[in-house]
Structures are given as C-alpha cells and as structure tokens.
Amino acid sequence: MSIHLYKGDLPAGLDLGREVAIDTETMGLNPARDRLCLVQMSAGDGVSHLVQIPKAAPGRLHEAPRLKALLEDPNVLKIFHFARFDVAALKAYLGVRVSPVYCTKIASKMTRSYTDRHGLKDLCKELLDVELSKQQQTSDWGSPDLTEDQLRYAASDVLHLHKLKAKLDALLAREGRTALAAACFEFLPSRGELDLLGWDEPDIFAH
C-alpha cells in the first residue's frame, strides 16, 4: 500500500481515472455539525491519495478547486461505502454536489439480504477474504498532524472499493436489481441534502 498525503487540495495533474473510490473522515457522525477533516481517494491501483482539510472560518467553505472538480465531474464515477454520509459531509464543508455516485453499502443491502452485516469490514471479509482493521475509527481526525496508524487506516478504507463494486455488480445483475440500484445511487446527493436540512430523523419518507 502506497499513501500520498496532501494539504488542502489535490495536486495539479493527478488523474485517478473514470472510477474513483472515495471516503471521508470527520469529527463525528453528524455532517451538519462535525467538520470534514480528511478525504481519501484511490484509483483501485493500491495507491491512496489523502487530502487533509483544514478548519475553515465559521460560515465559510473550504476552497479546494481540484478536489471539487473531481467530485463534480459527470464523467467520473465516485465509489463510496455508505455514500449518504460522505456526500452530505462533502456538501456541507466543500459546497459540492457529488455525482455520479455508487454505494457499496446500498448494493450490499440489495443483494445480501440473508444478513444484517453490511459494514465495510464485513463486505471485505466475505466477498474478498480481506481483514480490515477498525482500530483508528474513533480517533481525533481534526489533529493537524495525523499519525502513521491514522493514515494507514484512512488509506485502507478506499483500497478495496473497486473490487467490492465488481463483486456487487455481479450480484445485482444476478438478482435483477441493477436498474433499481442505479436509481438509488442517483438519489443519494439529494438524500444527503435532506439530512443536512434536518430530515434525517424523522425521515421524510417515514410514515
């Protein structure tokens, strides 16, 4: 595994291809409150590119023009695990509407209905026979100096998403749910915006 850490934005000239695995680290689990600290990306080649997001002034968005261009590029598919949270955090702190999107968690729920275990660690173990460590999941991502353990943890969360997508695509096709999954993925940016507006609980789709 190779890790590249950048401050504030992606470097000029970096091409991650047409399918990019993406994850985020924040100060907590409320995207309307807990600031974005790190954005991780991989082209599926065993290399992770991490962008550390500095704390912005109150009421201001962080300016990262190259990262924003990638997130909004209609020709680049962004692969997430639990995209609902990530697209909301990226909208709240970078001001971007991330699209198009693929979510391995949703794909898992639509194909692996024989289990309630749809976490990234569970998917990697069952579908790829890969063990992920979650030891740094609750560490302080707002620190200006991230530890080597934090960097390795963050990097590992995007290294396997391309392979998971391939496995899940096959399952979606087998079960005849590819088109339905695509419709769910297309709605995710709007779902994130609803969460930021306070319609996460109660859910606007609830009774």
- Distant-in-sequence, close-in-space partners of 135: CB < 8 Å, separation ≥ 6: 149, 153
Is the pTM higher than 0.85? The answer reads yes
The pLDDT of residue 31: 93
pLDDT 10s per residue in the chain (207 long)? 899 999 999 999 999 999 999 999 999 999 999 999 999 999 999 999 999 999 988 889 999 999 999 999 999 999 999 999 999 999 999 999 999 999 999 999 999 999 999 999 999 999 999 998 766 667 899 999 999 999 999 999 999 999 999 999 999 999 999 999 999 999 999 999 999 999 998 899 888
| Angle (deg, nearest 10), helices 178-196 and 104-111 | 130
Where does residue 153 rank: exposed (0-12), middle (13-18), buried (19+ CB within 10 A)? buried
Strand partners, 193: none
- Looking at residue 77, its amino acid is L
- Distant-in-sequence, close-in-space partners of 52: CB < 8 Å, separation ≥ 6: 5, 6, 7, 8, 37, 38, 146
For the chain, list the domains and their CATH numbers. 2-135+149-196 (3.30.420.10)
CA distance 14 to 35: 25
Please tell me whether the peptide bond between 100 and the residue prior to it is cis, using omega within 30 degrees of 0. Answer: yes
Strand partners, 5: 50
CA dihedral of 196, 194, 91, 166, whole degrees rounded to 10: 130
Structure token digits, residue 53: 């997001």
Beta strands in 13-119 (DSSP E): 19-26, 36-42, 47-52, 77-80, 101-103
